[in-house]
Each structure stands twice: as C-alpha cells, then as structure tokens.
Amino acid sequence: MSQIALTCGFILILAGLYGALTNRDILRMIVAFTVANTGVNIVLVAVGYLPGRTAPILDSAVPVAEAAQRIIDPVPQALVLTAIVIGLGITALMLAYAYRLFRLRHSLDISNFTELKW
Amino acid sequence: MIPKVLISVLLLLLGYAFWTLSVGYAPDTELNRTAAYYAANAESEVGAPNIVTGIIVTWRGLDTLGEVTVLFLTSAIIALVLSQSGGPSGVSGADFLPSGELLTTGARMLVPLIVLFGAYVIMNGHLTPGGGFQGGAILASGVLMALLAEPTRRFGHTAILRIESLSGSFYVLIGLAGMAIAGGFLDNGILPLGQFGTMLSAGAIPLISVLIGLKVGAEFSSILQSLHETEDA
Amino acid sequence: MVSPVLIIAIGLGTAFALGLLGSSRKTLQFGATLTALAAMSAISVIWLVALVTGAAQTAEIHTAGAVPPFAINLRVGIAEAALLATVTLTGLFAALSLRAQLLKLGRGGMAVLLVLIMAISGLVMTRDLFNVFVFIELIAIATAGLVLLSEDPRAVCAGFKFLVVGQIIAILLLVGIIFTYHANGSLNIDDIAATPVGVQGAALAMFLLLIALVIELKTFPANGWALDIYTSAHPGFSAVFSAATGSAALFIVDKVVAPAGAEWLPLLTGIGVLSFVASNVVALRQDNDRRLLGYSSVGQLGLVLAVIGQRDVLGEAYLYVAGGLILSHAVAKAGLFWMSAMVRGRNLDDWAAIRARAPMVLAFATFIAMLVGLPPFPGFYAKWDLAQALVAAGRLPVLALILLGVLIEAAYLFRWFGFAIKREAPEKGLSANMVDCGITFAAVIAGWALGWIWGAIPGQHNVLATLPMLAVLAFFALEPLPAKIKNVAAIGALLGWFTLVFGDYDPMRLIFAVVMIPGGAVILLASFTETGRRIGFYPSAMAMYAGLALLLEATTFFEFFAAWEIMTIGSYFLILRGKMSEPHALSYMLFSLGGAFALLAGFALASGGIQPFALNQLGTVGAELAPWVFVLLSIGFMTKTAAMGLHIWLPGAHAEAETDVSPMVSGILLKAGLFGLFLMLMELGRQSLWGVDLTVVLAWIGAISAFLGAVLSIFQEDAKRLLAYSSISQMGYALFGIALMNHLGWLLAMMFVINHYVYKSMLFLAVGGVYKRTHTKLMYQMGGLITLMPFTFVSVLVGIIAMSGVPPLSGFGGRWIFYNAIMDAGLRLPLILIFMAGPVGFLYLFRLIHTIFLGQLKDPHRQLKEAPVWLLVPQMIFVAFLIGFAVLPGMALQKVDGYIGSIFGDQPLVWSGRAIASEFGYWNPVAIMVVIAVIFVSVFLILIAKNHDAQKVKQFNIVFSAERPYRPETTHFAWNFFAPYRKALGFLEAPVVTSFWGGVTDGLNGTAEFTRRFYNGNGQSYAAHVLLFVVAVYLIAMGGVA
Amino acid sequence: MTFEWIQVPYALATLFIILNYGLLMTAVVRKLAARVGGRPGIPVWQNYIDLVKNFALRSKINHGVMYYLGPVFRLSGGIGLILFVPTIYGSSWAQNFSFAGDLVLALYFIFFGTLGMALGAGESGHPHSAIGVSRGLAQVTTAELPMALAVYSLAIQYQTLSITEIVAAQQGGLFNWTLFTNPLAVVAAMFAFVGTMMRSPFDVVLAPQEIPIGPPTEYHSAYLALMQTNRAIFPIAKTIIYMNLFFGGAANWAEFAIKVFLLYMIPAVIGVVHPRFRVEQSIRFFLKWGLPVGILAILTV
C-alpha cells in the first residue's frame, strides 16, 4: 500500500522534474514543478501511514488511552501541510516572476533569458 | 534532442536512488517515539483532540509561524514584482466582458456560505480535521469567487493589509506571551486548556487558529488580487 | 538576559507590523526596520560577549513548553552567537546600503529584508530538521524578493533561475528529511545524533539531505544560478547573500554532519576542495567585479566546506579554524560588495577610481588580505592551524590543493588590486557617500579587530601585539604628516628597535640585523629627496622592516612564518608603488606566496602538528621526513633569493621599483632568504634524498644562478635591470657558499650578505639618481655623465671595483675566502660556472660604468645637475664603509668567524694583527692597500710631472677615421655593447624559465576560459547541472558509504 | 713574512731589471717576427727610443680625469702584479711584497690595470676604445677560464695557494715541475696564456686594421709612455706567474731570463703563423678546447 503511494510519489517527482527540465516554456516549467511538489507531498504522507490504523484524532472512536495503538503517525501530516503551503507560496512567486519576465521580453522561453553567463 | 536524452539519463539515475528508497521502505508497525509521545500527551499538554493541529500550532509552532511568514513574504514580494513590472495600472480590466449571470448570482449566493464554512473550519481546527490554513484557504476561495464574478471589483488593499498585519503581529505577541507566562515561545498554555474536546479548549489554539486563518485568508486574497490586477487584454 | 528567540520575534513582529504604519510614511517604516535590525544585532552581540567571557552558558531554548525532540528547540552557543552577530550586523548594514531602494519600494522590501535576516538567524539557531527546511525556504523566497531591488533588469532572470534551482533543492530536502525521520523516528538533530540509525535507506536519506544542503552552498559546478545573482543583484544585498546566507548554510551542513556521521566527511572534503580550486580557476578570466566576487565567495564556501570535512582531525581547533575562515570571508566579502556599490564601472580596472582615496585603498587591501589569509587577519591563523592538522593527519593532498587554490585566488585578487592602484582612474568613477563609506569602514575595523582577537586567543602568538607591528599601525596614523617628518620617524624607529634588540643576538643574527635594520635606516636617508606626503610609502616600508625585525626575533615556526608573510606584504606594496611595476609586483607576490606556502608545508611537516614548535628544534625532525622538509624549506627560501628557475619576478620587481625602494628590496630583502637558508642548514645539516646530497643540489642551483644571472645581466640595456640580474648572480654566489657546508663557505656567504647589501644599494641609489636626472633607465641613451655627476660616478666606480673583486676593495676578500673555501669542498664541477661567472660579472659592471658615465655626452643632458644630495649621502657612507671594510675586514668578520667555528667546530682562519691566514694561503689587506696606494701615487706623480700642462679638449676632439663626428648618438658605443658575446653565447638568453611559467599561467587561463563556458546562462541548464552534480556525487558516495 | 724597509729598494731593483729585460725582449721578439716575414725589422733598442720620445712629446691633450688616470691604473697594475709575486725562488731579496697576498691576489690584481685603462680609454669618448674594451673583456672571460681551472687544480694538487710554496714543491729536478706532475693543468693554463698575451690569433682586441691601436686610442705622449712601459713589464709579470706555477719557477736570474724568454716565445710563434680570430670565434675556441682540458685537470687531480 504505502509502497505504491511512495512509488507514485516518486514517479510524479521524476515526471515533474523531466517536464521542468525539458520544457522551455516558463509556464510549463512552473506547472511541472507543481506536479513534482505534489509527488513530494504524496511521499510525505505515505511515509506517515501505518497499515490498519486511523486518523490521528482523539474522539469517541479513539480514546486517549489506546491512541498510541490506533492512530497513524501525525507528524508527516503536520509536515505535509507546511510543505504544501510553502510549495504554493513558491509557485505563486514563480508565476509573478513569469509575468515580470514576459513584460521584460514579451517571451516566455527560458532560453531567451541568458545574458547573464560565464 | 540530446539534452532530453541527457536529462532522462540523469533522472533515471535519480529514479534509481528513489527506487532503492522505496524498496528499502518498510512501514512502521509501532508509532515511533515522537509520534507516540504526541499520541500520549495530546490531551494533557495541548488539549487538542486533533493531534495534527496540536502539532502544527503548538509543538511545531515555529514551523507554522514560518509558514505564515512564507505566505506573507510571497504576497509582499508579488506586490513588489508587479508594482515594478510597469504593467497596466490597477484600474485595468474595466473593459472586461461581464461574467455570466449565472456566476454572478451563484457568487452572491455562495460567497457568504463559503466564508461561513471557512470560519467553521478555522474554529474547529483543534477538534476536527481542519484549522487555520484550511479555513484561510477557504476564505480566500470566497474572495477568488467574488473576483471572478465581478472582475472590475476591487477590495480595499489597506483593509487586507491591516488584517494581515494585525493578525501577524498578534500571532507573534501570543508567542511571546507564551514565553512570558507559559512554558516557552508559542506555548498554547497561556490560556487554560479547558474541557478536552470542547469548542473553547486547548488553550490558545483556537485563538491562534483564528489569527492564522485571518492571516492566510488575507495573504491569499492579496496574492489573488495582485495577480488579478496584472490581467490585461 | 533577553532570550535569543526575541531575534526571531522582533524580526517577524516588525515585518508584520510595518503594514500598520501606513504605506505613505516610508521613512518611519525604514526607521522601524533599522531599529528592529539594530535590536536583533544588539541581542546577538550581547550573547556573543556573554558567552565568550563566560558570563553565560550555551542557551537551550525550548518552544511550546515541551522538551526536545518533541518540540522545536533552539540553541545559542559561541559559534551560533558569532554567526548571529555576523548575520544581524550584515543585515543592519545591508539595510543602510539598500536605503535608496527600500525607501522607494516601501514596506514590502523592508519586510522582506527583515524576514530574511530573521530566517537566517533562525537557521543558525534551530536544532530541528524540518524547521531547517522551513527557514531555508523562507531564505530562498526572501532572496528571490530582494534580488528584485536591483536596478539591473537582468536580476529578474537571475531570480527566476534561482527559484528553479530552489525547487529542486526543496524536493531533495523534503524527501531526505522525511526518510530520515522515518529511519530515526525523530526530527531533532541532536536526538538523531544520539540514537544510532538502524533502518535501511537511512544513508541514502541522509545523502539527499546533505547534498541538498551542500547545493545551498553553491558548490561548483552546480552554482550558475548563484553567480548570476551575485552579478546582477544590488551589492548591498549580495553582501548578505554571500556573508550571511553563505555562513549560515555552512553552519547547517556542519550541524547535520554530526548526526550523519564521520563517514560523510571525505565526501564533503572532496566537494569543498573541488569547489574551492575550480571556482578560483574560473575566476581568473573574470573581468566583472561582482561576478568575480561571486566566484570568490563560492570558492571560500568550498574552502570552509573542506574544513568541515576535516573536523575529525581538527579537534578543538575546529571552531578556531572554520570560524576564522568564515568570519574573514564574511567581513571581507561584505566590505568588498559595499565598496563595489560605490564604484560606478563594473570592470575590474574601473576600480582605479579608488586609487586617489587612501582610506579606500586601505580598505581594499584589508579585504583582499583577509580573503587570501595574510597576517594579521584570522584567515592567516586558521590557515596555519589547518596546515598543521592536515599534515599531522597525513592529508597532504588536501593541503596541497587548498594551498594551490589560495594561490590562484591571490592571483586574481592581487591582479585586481594592481588594476585599482595602477590603472587610469575613470572620470567620476566613484560615487562615495557617508553611509556607504561608513559601513565599508565598519567592515575594515571589524577585520582588524578580528585579527586582534584571533591572535589574542590563548596559545596563539598575536602578530599585531608585537612592537614592530604596532609601529606599523602608528605609521598608518602618521600618514597625514609630510614625508620628511615621517622619514625621520621611520629612521628613528629602526634605530630605536636596533638599540633595543642587538644586545641579545649571536654574531650571525647581528650581521643580518645590522644589514636589515640600521642598513634600512641608511637607505631611508635617500627618501629625504621625496616631497609631499608620499601616502602609503611608510606603512608599507615599515611593514617590510617589521617583518624583517620579527624574522630575526622569531623563535618558533609560527613566528617565523608570520614575520615572513608580513615582510612579503610590505615589500609587495612597496614594489607596487613603482610606475610600471604592476605586473612585476603581481608576479613577485605570487612567487613569494608560493614560496611561503612551501615554507608552511615544510614547517607543518617538520612540527608534525605540535604547536608551538621552536625553530631550534628543527634538527629533531625524523630522518625520513627531514629531506622533504629540507626540500620544501629551501624552495621557499630560494624563491626569496630568486634562484634560477624561481627568479623571473626579480628583474621587473627590482628594476621598476622607486629609486629608494630598489635598494631596499634588493640590498636588504634578498638577505631574508639567505637568513632562512642559514637557519635551515644549521639545524638540518646535510640531507640526501634518493642518494642525492641535497646540499650539492643547492650548490648547483647557486652556481647556475651565479653564472646565468651574470650572463643575462650583460645583455640588459636597462641599467636597473642589469643590476637586478646581477643580484640574482650575487645571491647565487652566496647560495653556493652556504651549500658548501663548510666554515669558509658560510663565511663567504656572510661576506656576501654584507658586501652585496652595500654595493648593490649603492649602485641602485646611484643609478636611481641618474634616472632622476635623465628620466631614462636605458644606458645607451646616457653617456659622458662623469663630469656632470662626479660623486655618483665615484660611488659607481668604487661599487664595481668592490663587486668585481679586484683588489684592494672588499670584494677581493670575498674572492680570497671563496678560494680557501673550495679547497676542502668535495664538489668541483659547479665551480666551473662560478669561475666563469666572475669575469662575466666584470663585463656587465664595466658596461654599467662606461655607457652611463664615459663615452659621449648627449645633447639633452648637457645641463644636468649632480644627483640630489640626499641620494648621495648614503652612497658616500657606503663608499667610506667599503674602503674601511676592505682594510679592516676583521671588524665585521672576526666575530662571525668565531661563531661559525663554534658550529663546525673548526677554526681555519688565523687572525694575526691585520693579516689573515688560512691553512692554504694568506691575505694582508692593509699591506695590499698600502702597496697599491704607494705604487699608484708614485706613478701618478710621474705623469703629473710630465703632463701637468695637458690641455683639456672638447668633446669630439678625437681621431675618428679621419673624420670628426658631431652626433654623440653615433659616436657613443653603448647599445648591444657585447655583441660578440651575444653571437657566441646568446643562446643562454633563451627565456626557458619565463616561457615555462608563462605556459603554466596560460594553461590555467585556458582551463578557466574553457570551464566558464559551462555557465551558459540558461536556467534549465543550471537546473540540469544541479541534477548532474547530485547524481555524480550519488554514484561516487554510495560506492563508499552505503 | 712581514715587511721591512729594505724590501723597498729590493723591489725597485727587481722592477728595474724586469723593465729593461722586458723592453729588450719585446724588441727582440718583434725583430724575429719581422725576419720571419722577410723584413729587416727594428733595432733592439727601438723601445727605448720610443719611450724617450713619448716622454719628450710636447703636445698633450686631456679628455678628463679618468682619461688622465687610465695609464696610471694601467702601469700600477703591471708594477703591482710584479711586486705581489716573488720573482726568484730562494733569493733573499727578489721576493718583493709577496707577503701581502697569495696567488688569489695576483690573479685578481691582473684586472686592476685592465679596468683602469678601459675606463680611461672610455672617457676619451672614442668609440673604438669602447669597442676594443668590449671585445677584450668578452674574450678574456673565456680565455681566463682554463687558467682559473688550472690554478684550482694546482692548488688542490699542492694544497696551498702560496706561490712560494708552489714553487718550492717543484724544486729538485725537471720532473717535479707541474708540467710533468699535472700536465693537463699546464695545457689548460697555456690556452689562457696564449689567449691573454694579446697576440694573434687572439689580438683582435688591439686590431691594428679595424681600430687604430684599440683601447689605447687617443693616448699619446707620457700617457702612451706609461703604457709602453706597462706593455714591456706586464707580459713578463704574467709570464713569471706561469713560470712559477707550472715550470718550476726560477732559482736565479739566468734561469729566469731563459724561461721567461721561451715562454714568451710560445704566443709569439703561434701569433706569427696564425691568422686572427673574431671574438666570438675565440670565445667558442676556448670553450671548445680550453674548457674541457681545464675540467679534466680539476677532475683528475
């Protein structure tokens, strides 16, 4: 189960990276990165998963006493939330940059922005 | 073509690394010590049934503060980027086609509900799945809808600004208060933990959630608005 | 004491609250920002002081009222506090440096800056892996924001490339973190370190984590993005990016290595060294100042990464070394970036704009010295300790590579400095203003303060605290005074120091001391000719003399090495003052540094890491190491004596230097090398490697230098170059004498120490005087000056008689001792060269005096006056000394003779009255002088008796192939004076050595040019580079670790 | 040995003898050379005539101080060289001032005159003087090399640098001469001897054709007289050194006269039958032939 999730996550990461590294269109790159981020997030939650357990919320179903036996690992869930938000922030930032770049040169081709080199 | 091949080779090698990770991966049968501690002390320490929220707001509160800051940064920088970019001034989009009747009416009907729902998610963050971020996002989606419904509509930048500043500052202050009168920076113990599982419990968590929710909502809204203003024909 | 958390709280709180101040009141917002940053700085500085003084213990800050590993916790120890101080102060100054942009953009920019500084501080303090990730992302985003403050539109592209790479880093980091968490069940660094890692894949997870953090260090080659930022961003921000962010990133790697375990250290070492060397090589071809600084930053980070890789062998010196390097880098880079904010042009030679401003030059010099790791700055102490540790651990290749990297870095940094001092200053190239100057000088002061602190740390020898160095500092303060007063002060200082110390020197040291200290004072007399303030001369000169003084004082390896470096720096600045001396000063600096590094390695090898190691313990080195120590040390010393092969710096450096500088660097400085050789041979004695007696090798080198130096000298048209090459030849003699390893050989060398100082200084002053009048150094453009400059002529005449060894002057004594010395020496073949060098020397000396003073006077020179009196005074002193020394050589030599006897346990010379006898021959200086004088006078009287009424005829009144010439140019036989010699032996002129070193430099530059094409400016390629780097390291590392 | 006043008249006497011997012998040698060339040649007292004439010349000009001092240096060099070397072995009075210094002194004092004269000629401003000097110096650097090596080999052989002791070591029969005990050194030294006696093929320095009498250009009257004096004694002085070092020295004036004459004849004879080398040729010559012998000399001793 978690193997599958992991594998999916990794595949998404690789696919995203491939897209980001082969598409010269900046918008496509950004999209590709979001895909990769999604992959990362999947990997995160997948790691926290324990077979046959429930969400880390203490209610009538999960009394405090046996919580340790009943719930899955809450930490990755906490982490993934942060990761998502940060990823979103960066994506938004990249979009803004993309707009700025377009204004600069009326092109979204990454290979047109290479005057800084050597 | 060559670069594509090269990239693929590189990624394949990286994939090999990942593959070894995932084949080597064996899910825990027991909670590791950290998780076990959280499970055991969720009630006594933070008094939040939703352990995840407890972790986010309290135990890993510093991360969360940073997270909020990320959004804050992003909105600030985006404002910078777009203000510099010499794009059309804010009053653009006046010549947009009016969005359809359906959307407008729907928006009029839905936005209040969305906002309400957002508020709910925020308030119950420590009891049920949800919390400041989720709620804030929902609030922002309300704003987004409003923007879509009426492209020419503008929210008061200053209002959003005030909200994010105030909520942010308060968040920091609460953190400091934790240092002053409780166990440390961002300790939620500044308020009584109260009755486990009730609405007004878990110390400062609900309060912090509200602040987070407001801030996140405000940040998202300003981001959306800034991006929205960049639209031009 | 206030909690360090407040640094974070204040930063964030202010950033958030700025919005409340209303977007219109920008100055108010700016004020708030500054206050916040100041408060943050204050807190960190308070903590630093408290921790250093022991008033406080390392602070463990728990958040959320829970204990780690369950809640995030922060720590502030000395290292953290120091970094925090660096970061926050850099931030404060950066805010000032960025004021214009910040005020223009208002709240947003300031908030971002605040958050950036807050995040870096947090990164330094936190002990939680995921928290590290959060802060890193904050830093990344804030960076992407602040890049936009630049007015350079290209900054946007840079920012985007940066974001792209940031994404990849984030992905690797997250995967690494989560699997580490899964493997250890904890995110707390100390917790992970405490509990052993059991689960499979932990190593790989740790690898991903580490490699992500390492890429944050912009290691070569995965650093194109960072370089673009350095190039395009506002320097005020680049300072933060280099100084603060870089240092923090290093610290994180250091933090994470602890749990990762020692098996990762070699990997880090490899990456670091590669990054250091490669970046510096690439920087060689860089002509944009900010990009150059970028490469240098990347290199420095690589260096420190390599040091982190050595933490297992550095022990408690680790903090000292790494800290010294990081802080030097941070301060120097920040300062340089702030300076580049004031320099308008972006080309390296646009920095010539600062040449008119002495303080600016001082600042520039300070920063460069800090980067290269010269005394008295922390990098120097760090380099020393690092070398010791590396050798002790047998990691010689690492040391070699690091030193190579430093050398290359020195190459481009000092070339740059040369541009700034020597090139044509552009119109209005400088936009200096109070604030920028202020922060720049804050950095300068910080640099010197750090230097003091690093020296003051117990167990170290504080270079700055020595009397001579304090004198140097005093001369910085005296700069506003006119040159003449400073000259008096300088002479006074030298003589004062001498009276202070000469009592406790053995005869040999005493001879060197006399030559170096009072000898220097005599040469300084010539400096009275200079008018005006002569900014920069006296600090440099005094630095050189301070180095020499400390060299004689030195008792330990470290003191010796420090003195050596100080001497080198001082002389470099002196030489650089010459009109055309830019390239020569550079090559001088590089050869000297190369030699110094050979010394460093040699000393480290000898001491085996034991500190402090007394010089006179050198003899105790193990038999298997001794030959190598011998080789390294002699290479080091022979670069200073300019032995053949290591000599190419000398002719230019000595010839292009100022009139009164040439004698200093030639007559005095060269002796430092001889002094070192004496010390070394005294302790090590004969050593043989692979059955070759190394002293014989030295003798050969000496003979070759003596011969080729002389041959090259006779082909020079430039008088000062002629003298310079002759110095090579003379030092060759001395080297040969030392290498004979017998009593008389050493006496011979001592004789050369004295004689060469006297007549070479004298000749340089004389030629300098002629140059002052004729404004040319080309001898064929002179001629017939004898009547116009009689005193100068006399000193040259005496000089060449003494130098050629013709009786009765003191040079003959040297020859006599030489013949007695070779009688009982085994090696005969090198003698052939020496024997030939003698007469050849006669050639260039005759050329010197003839083509300048004899022959036909040129029309432009008819009105010339005698050289300035202050140039003549020292010359006349020297003349008097030469004659006196010729008659009474005993006055200087007898004591030394006895001292050397105590070393070799023999007494070959018998000093009976004024006569000296050896077992082979005898020498009666007084008799010689008297006999020759009597004969000369009587013959002279005869001639007078006959020709007293000879009538003086005009120029051209000569029988000239039945014609009477009118143009002196056609009649003055001077150019290519020894044409037949060139026909016969011209092949010896072939610039073999020069072309060899030229080949080396061309090779390096070629590599640089080739390598930098790698940075094609395309964001995707940069991302690909990162992946390539990761995969490559993965393939290498996983071979070793997993 | 130390100084007593009586040594002064002794030295002067030696000097007087050598001067006359030199004047006569050079004349004789020139006459022989002329006869070989089928010319009558000069009378043997020609040198005296020239000397007197030059001293008597009334027209005297002066180019400057060094010009004036040049001949003084030159002659002092010659005289000094004689006075620093013991002339007759065992003679109580012909030891001159050799106590002042040993072989090294003699070798280096040779340069004294050369230097002074070169300076004097230089100040005359006559380019030919400079050319002559530059040629002479260039040639001497390699010509003296075999001599230096020979001397070194000799010094090692006899373990002394004192000329007297070297001569002493050669007493007692022809075969004790260095000529037979260390032939390589002698051969090497003779290269130098021939090369520095200013005779063909190595006299391009004086080069009568290209340069009117080389370095001494412009010198006349008493200046030239001093130089002629020097040219009479200087070769003798040098020959004496060679005689002492390699040919057993001279125990009495007769032996002295014969040995010096024969030695002096060597370069003379070679000169008569050889064309002249250009400077670079002679340099190569000495490096190619003189140097190896010298090296063998110091390696085999």
C590-621: pLDDT as tens digits: 999 999 999 999 999 998 878 788 888 888 88
Chain C residues in contact with D105 by the CB 8 A cut-off are 807, 812, 816, 923, 928
Chain C residues in contact with D161 by the CB 8 A cut-off are 819-820, 823, 920-921
Which residues 98-157 in chain B show a CB within 8 A of chain C? none
Chain B residues in contact with C194 by the CB 8 A cut-off are none
Task: Say whether residue A81 is in contact with chain B using an 8 A CB cutoff.
Answer: yes
Task: Say whether residue C141 is in contact with chain A using an 8 A CB cutoff.
Answer: yes
Minimum-distance CB partner of C978 among D99, D138, D162: D138
Question: What pLDDT does residue D58 have?
Answer: 82
Taking only Cα atoms into account, the Rg of chain D, rounded to an integer number of angstroms, comes to 19
Chain D residues in contact with C784 by the CB 8 A cut-off are 125
CATH class of the domain whose range is A2-51+74-112: mainly alpha
Give the range of the structural domain holding residue C57, as residue numbers without chain letter. Answer: 1-127
Cβ–Cβ gap B165/C17 under 8 Å? yes
Separation of alpha carbons C582 and C417, rounded Å: 9
Question: What pLDDT does residue C545 have?
Answer: 95
For residue C921, what is the DSSP state? -
Chain A residues in contact with B63 by the CB 8 A cut-off are 78-79, 82
Buried b (16+ CB within 10 A) or exposed e, C456-478: eeeebbbbbebbbbebbbebeeb
Chain C residues in contact with A43 by the CB 8 A cut-off are 174-175, 178
Cβ–Cβ gap C16/B28 under 8 Å? no
The C-alpha torsion from B5 through B10 and B15 to B16, rounded to 10°, is: 110
Question: What pLDDT does residue D255 have?
Answer: 92
Residue D208 has pLDDT above 60, yes or no: no
pLDDT averaged over every residue in chain C = 90
C428-477: pLDDT as tens digits: 888 888 899 999 999 999 999 999 999 988 778 888 888 999 999 999 99
Residue C390 has pLDDT above 70, yes or no: yes
Separation of alpha carbons C717 and C720, rounded Å: 9
Distance from the Cα of B83 to chain C's closest Cα (Å) equals 9
Do the bridges between strand D61-62 and strand C951-952 make them parallel or antiparallel, or are there none, so unpaired? parallel
Cβ–Cβ gap C1028/B10 under 8 Å? yes
Report the predicted TM-score, pTM, of the whole model to 2 decimal places.
Answer: 0.92
Question: What pLDDT does residue C199 have?
Answer: 59
Minimum-distance CB partner of C108 among B3, B38, B77: B77
Taking only Cα atoms into account, the Rg of chain B, rounded to an integer number of angstroms, comes to 22
Separation of alpha carbons D160 and A86, rounded Å: 93
Answer with the one of C105, C127, C149 that is the final residue of a domain.
Answer: C127
H helices of chain D, where?
7-36, 46-56, 65-84, 103-123, 127-158, 163-170, 178-181, 183-196, 221-246, 253-273, 279-285, 291-300
Answer with the one of C906, C936, C966 that is the final residue of a domain.
Answer: C936
- Total domains in chain C come to 2
Direct distance between the N- and C-terminal alpha carbons of chain B, in angstroms, rounded to an integer: 36
Task: Say whether residue B67 is in contact with chain A using an 8 A CB cutoff.
Answer: yes
C976-1009: pLDDT as tens digits: 888 888 888 888 888 888 899 999 999 999 999 9
C10-44: pLDDT as tens digits: 999 999 888 888 777 888 899 999 999 999 999 99
D225-266: pLDDT as tens digits: 999 999 899 999 999 999 999 998 898 999 999 999 999 999
Question: What pLDDT does residue C443 have?
Answer: 94
Question: Can you give the three-state secondary structure of C720-757, one letter per residue?
Answer: HHHHHHHHHHHHHHHHHHHHCCCHHHHHHHHHHHHHHH
pLDDT averaged over every residue in chain D = 88
Model confidence at C325, pLDDT cuts 50, 70, 90, reads very high
Minimum-distance CB partner of D61 among C801, C931, C950: C950
C676-695: pLDDT as tens digits: 999 999 888 888 888 888 99
Which residues 29-48 in chain B show a CB within 8 A of chain A? 29, 31-32, 34-36, 38-40, 42-43
Size of interface C-D (CB pairs under 8 A): 243
In terms of Cα–Cα distance, which of D276, D126, D114, D129 is closest to D204? D276
Which residues 46-105 in chain B show a CB within 8 A of chain C? 58-63, 65-67, 69-70, 72-74, 76-77, 79-81, 83-84
Question: Residue ranges of the domains in chain A?
Answer: 2-51+74-112
Question: What pLDDT does residue C471 have?
Answer: 92
Model confidence at A57, pLDDT cuts 50, 70, 90, reads confident
Determine what percent of chain C is predicted with pLDDT higher than 90: 57
Chain D residues in contact with C706 by the CB 8 A cut-off are none
Extract the tokens encoding C224. 């194109």
Nearest CA in chain A to B128: A57
Overall average pLDDT of the C404-430 stretch: 91
In the block, residue with structure tokens 């210094």: D101
Per DSSP, the three-state class of A116 is: coil
Separation of alpha carbons C38 and A5, rounded Å: 49
Task: Say whether residue D299 is in contact with chain C using an 8 A CB cutoff.
Answer: yes
In terms of Cα–Cα distance, which of D265, D188, D222, D243 is closest to D51? D222
